[in-house]
Structure 1
Amino acid sequence: MTEETAAADPRIVLVEDDSTIASMYSYQFEQDGHTVWTATDGEAGLQLTRDVMPDIVFLDVRLPKLDGFEVLARLREDPKTAALPVVILSNYGSDEMRKRGLELGAQDYLVKARVTPIELASRIWSWVSA
């Protein structure tokens, strides 16, 4: 994907089972001009990502049906989504969890309580263009 394509139609998939958190992030992303699709479980998030091929995926770890690590592993196994930027957003901030996410190929691993929607939105282009 070129920067021109991303700039013309910045698309985000947000996989988050907490509707309040999903609404909070989606609102900020949309205010910044991004198109956002949300899924509330890992299976739906995986399928949605494959269907819309977004510019970036924000992925929770603790999800119904498939956890975020399994979703990430499956995205990395699929040639169509292997290079897709994925940022993990989790309430679990242990070094072990962070290490696992990064080893599976996440661009970043952020703790929700430590990053605001505005901060997250301001970093989207650094992940998309990496």
Structure 2
Amino acid sequence: MADKEKILIIEDDFFIRELYERQFTKEGYIVLVAEDGPTGLVMASQELPQLILLDIMLPKLNGLDLLRTLKSKDETKGIPVILLTNLGQESVIKEGFELGAESYLIKSAYTPSQIIEEIKNFLENRG
């Protein structure tokens, strides 16, 4: 990785946020974190990360509404978003993809190290 890529993690659970922030930093990424939807929106617009990891169940502005807003703004619509959530209902997954998510990872279906690998592979293989 020539330049350090910037990842924005929008997650309200402190322990999950801390875990992924620490792991991605260890992998050499610049990691930004937000604990709610409005803060995540501001950070995405100001920092323009290479990837956003987005939870759905967020305070103040849920992840699907935030995704809709991100994809409607010129400055953020090109940022890839991966939904990282515990919501596994087919209708929610479908809505996430329709709104423009690149991928949908259910937290409980993966170990943290598997999620880190998925994200690394995504960043390395995007074209």
TM superposition score normalised by structure 2: 0.92
The structure 1 residue matched to 2:8, chosen from 9, 13, 31, is 13
Alignment partner of 1:114 out of 102, 109, 124: 109
CA contact (8 A) 1:42 1:71 kept: yes
Distance in structure 2 (CA, Å) of the matches to 1:115 and 1:7: 28
Matching of residues 42-81 of structure 1 within 5 Å? 42-81=37-76
Gaps of 5+ in 1: 1-5
Alignment check: 8 A CA contact 1:12 1:34 kept: yes
Q: Is the 8 A contact 1:85 1:127 kept in 2?
A: no
1:32 equivalent in structure 2: 27
Q: Name the % identity.
A: 35
Moved over 2 A (4+): 123-128
Q: Give the AA of the match of 2:110.
A: V
Unmatched tracts of structure 2, length 5 or more: none
The one-letter code matched in structure 2 to 1:20 is F
- Partner in structure 2 of residue 100 of structure 1: 95
Count of equivalent residues: 125
Matching residue's letter, 2:83: I
Report the alpha carbon displacement of residue 125 of structure 1 after superposing the two structures with TM.
4.3
Q: Distance in 2 between matches of 1:92 and 1:66?
A: 16
Matched to 1:97, the amino acid is V
Find out whether 1:127 has 2:122 as its counterpart: yes
TM-score under structure 1 length normalisation: 0.90
